[in-house]
Amino acid sequence: MQTLAFWILLLIFLGAFAAQVARRVQLIAAAPQTFSLDNLGVRTSRFVVDVLLQWRTIQERPFTGLMHAFVFWGFVAFGGYTLTEFLYGLGIVDLTHAGWFHAYRLALTPFAGAVLLGIVYLFIRRAFVRPVALGPKVSIESLVIALFIATLMTTFLLTFRLEEGGVAERVNWWVHAIVILAFMALIPASKHLHLVLSPVTVFLKSTELGNLPNLDFEKEQVGLETVKDLGSKSVLDAFTCVECGRCQVNCPAWGAGKELNPKTIILQTQGALLAGERERKLGEVYSEKVLWQCTTCGACENQCPVGIEHLPILIGARRGLASNGDAPEYLGAMYNNLERRSNIWGLGYDQRTKFVTSAELEIFDAAKHDVMVWLGCAGSFDADFQKSLKSMFAILRTCGVKFGVLSKEKCNGDPAKRTGNEYMYQELANANIADLKAAGPKTILTSCPHCVKTIGDDYKKFGYEVEIVHSSVYIEELTREKLAADTSREKVTFHDPCYLGRYAGKVDEPRALLERFGADISEVERNRENPYCCGAGGGLLFNDKEEEQGTRISDVRFKQLQATGANTVVTACPFCSIMLKGAGASAQSDTQFVDLMTYVNGKLQPRA
């Protein structure tokens, strides 16, 4: 009788579970296939670190993350116990009296204690503390799930106290079993589906941050226009979101009071998919305005503990808008510049030639030079940044490095790519690749982190591979034993560029250089691999600052830098430098901004 009742209950709850899961699986299967299994080694180690060890969850919020990890580890540890009890309940086999099962039960008691501790903490946090990342509404379903988990642990612990075969023990067994079944039925329609999906989502997450495969124009790909264009990984992502809000609180746009909230983007995707709105335009699902507020800093997908990738959705939707001529006006001017003059400012190439001549640069010759220096748009045309490059040239010459530049360069295409103008990006990239192939450098040196990402990662998608190194990394190694510094110490702060710290993971080299050359670094909040963006990325260097919603991102960052008490801010990206100098000027501050190369060179040769 008991066995029959359990079979009936299991089939009812399993049916409810399967029906809801099937709906989601169907939506994933119907989406254009974007799953990839390249770099299996990297994926496997990330799975161990982020799923099994829960490192990403713990890293950002150590205590809360640890409490969550207790629940997760308990969930895994109890798997065998639940299976054994279910096999008994279904009358298949009774292993509950086996010696190993008693030992296993005993071993589970510390896990039960840890899960109880974790779930009580998470319940209090969600119901009473209510951090902003979790949203204004208390999720009733989360509270119910917390009660379920607490009940499961309590009923498990009671099995050690209750007399076997007694009424209390039977009631306790049934409560435990029914709560598990109800939990199972509740999972698919809730954010707790991440329990099932997140290991898969983490494994399938691209090994490249901000991975944007090229559009294939021969296949008439134009980017994401409607809900049905979302790729299978994005659809899986939408059902995996645990609504923790880590992406939200780390997003510089959200932090500066803009409408963009990466968590909302994922939840809106989920809502549109479940509502069957396949033909709905993504510009309506998210609002066009929001799509253009993203700086592509990568903080959202880098912080997400369950492997969700926001940038393929955000930039994919931008591509859809740009291909229909719906990009904002300020981008139109930048696109014109790229089209007519192949650089973001639309300046004549004679200015680059003048700089090449005044800096006494040679044209790169693979037989003669150790390294090719890539100037980039800023290096070719921005007078301030050219001073920084001259500092780098001086260091290279002092160390005896032979270097040259291309006779002509086009913009690497980053501003076109990240704003969705894929056609223009591919034109620029292909032209540069042809020139680079003809010149044949083994190593390219640049001071622009966006050039590192685009030439180093994005050009690989055209089959062109070259080592491209940021100046902070190259000069750190070069000067390690060759140059002595002026010994006076100075308090400075360092702003990690998103495309250097987060995308390339280069955070130690600029600090090692600074410290070696006399800097006592006063670290700013949001530093190293998780910096707060300067606000320039994703084409936002060109937007109308006066029309910007909320506070300017650069102003928020400048205040954070000021709060360190250092009067010198060292930067390592031409665009960070432009944005932060602008913020400093608006605040009428006397803070000094110095590029890393200028700082190092100044310690070798007294500043003028």
Positions that interact with ligand SF4 (CB under 6 A):
241-247, 250-253, 260, 262-263, 266, 294-300, 303-304, 306, 308, 310-311
Six-digit token string for 208? 């490249």
With beta carbons less than 8 A apart as the criterion, state whether 436 and 562 touch.
Answer: no
Helix 383-398 to helix 471-479 angle (10° resolution) is 30
Q: What are phi and psi of 146, to 5 degrees?
A: -60, -40
DSSP 363: B
Of 246 and 511, which CB lies nearer to ligand SF4 in the complex structure? Answer: 246
Buried b / exposed e over 48-61, threshold 16 CB at 10 Å, is eebbeebebbbeeb
For the chain, the C-alpha Rg in angstroms (whole number) is 28
Encoded amino acid at 435, one letter = D
Instruction: Specify the residue, 308 or 600, whose C-beta has the smaller distance to ligand SF4.
Output: 308
Q: In 373-421, where does DSSP find H-type helix? A: 376-381, 383-398, 414-418
- Asked if 219 and 248 count as a contact pair (C-beta separation under 8 A), the reply is no
Collapsed DSSP state (helix, strand, coil) of residue 497: coil
| DSSP codes joined into one string, 534-545 | -S-TTTGGGS-G
Q: Is the dihedral of CA 365, 444, 534, 300 positive or negative?
A: positive
CB 38 within 8 A of CB 27: no
Nearer to ligand SF4, 224 or 311 (CB): 311
Number of neighbours of residue 127 by Cβ within 10 angstroms: 14
Q: Closest separation between CB of residue 100 and ligand SF4, Å? A: 37
Q: SS3 for 568?
A: strand
Q: Of 409, 413, 417, which is closest to residue 444 (Cα–Cα)? A: 409
Contact 570, 597 (CB under 8 A): no
Q: Per the structure block, which two tokens stand in for 440?
A: 């044949």
Residue pair 146/130 in contact (Cβ under 8 Å)? The answer is no
Output the smallest distance, CB 109 to ligand SF4, in A.
31
For the CB of residue 540, give the shortest distance to ligand SF4 in the complex, in Å: 9
Nearer to ligand SF4, 260 or 569 (CB): 260
* 591 Rama sector, left if φ>0, alpha if ψ -120 to 50, beta otherwise: beta
- What would the two tokens of residue 595 be? 């590029």
